[in-house]
Amino acid sequence: MADHHERTMTAPDLPTEFSEIEMRCPPCNTTWSAPVARRVNVRTHPDARLGILLKTMHWTRCPLCKQPRQIETIFEYYDPDQRLLVQVRPEWEYHAGGGEEWYWARYEDLVLKYQDVDVRVDVVFGFDQLIEKYLGGQAAVQEARERWEARRRRGEGL
Ligand SMILES: [Zn+2]
């Protein structure tokens, strides 16, 4: 059972996956497709963690009138070091969907989806909940801002 041993020692390989989403700008009616993450693996893509803490992730800009628009999408945050997979859903959905019951229904779906993978899973609604529950809260946000500021001074982008 060498394979089994290997599997328990190594975190499951759930790679970062990107997709595209059709966007429409209500004021000027322009449509375009924007890149979105379906899953981020923060070991291979550590900047995703920074993008969540700074809330710069999943924003796009209308190519015509340049207005920034938020991309509302569902994605998975995966941290192999903690064997943690969190599905991040839009914040408004929690209230619109019926609160706790909605949470447990989505949670059970996710448990089922990853039942054969050795990770613990959870569902959060909005970046704030992810930050508070799993990313270290306001202290981590502050640290991310400082790191981003230092990078900006060095002339590097995110
Ligand atoms: Zn526009």
Residues 87-114 pLDDT 10s: 999 999 999 988 999 999 999 999 999 9
CA of 69 to the centre of ligand 1 (A): 9
User: Residue 150: pLDDT above 90?
Assistant: yes
Name the residue ranges covered by the structural domains of the chain: 38-57+73-153
8-47 pLDDT per residue, tens: 568 899 999 999 999 999 999 999 999 999 999 999 999 9
Provide Rg for the chain, Cα atoms. Answer: 18
55: exposed, middle or buried (C-beta count within 10 Å: 0-12, 13-18, 19+)?
Answer: middle
E strand or H helix that includes residue 110: helix 100-113
What is the pLDDT, as a whole number, of residue 158? 58
Of the given ranges (3-7, 70-74, 83-87, 102-106), which has the lowest mean pLDDT? 3-7
- Given this model, what pLDDT does residue 155 score? 86
Cα of 56 to ligand 1 centre, how many Å? 19
The phi, psi pair for 125, rounded to 5°, reads -120, 105
DSSP state at residue 131? I
Phi/psi zone of residue 61: left (φ > 0), alpha (ψ -120 to 50 degrees), beta?
beta
Dist. CA 72 → ligand 1 center (Å): 17
10: CA distance to ligand 1 center in Å?
46
In this prediction, what percent of the chain has a pLDDT beyond 90? Answer: 89
The DSSP secondary-structure symbol of 156 reads -
Burial class (CB in 10 A: 0-12, 13-18, 19+), 33: exposed
Neighbours of ion ligand 1 (CB under 5 A): 25, 28, 30, 62, 64-65
Give the pLDDT score at 2.
44
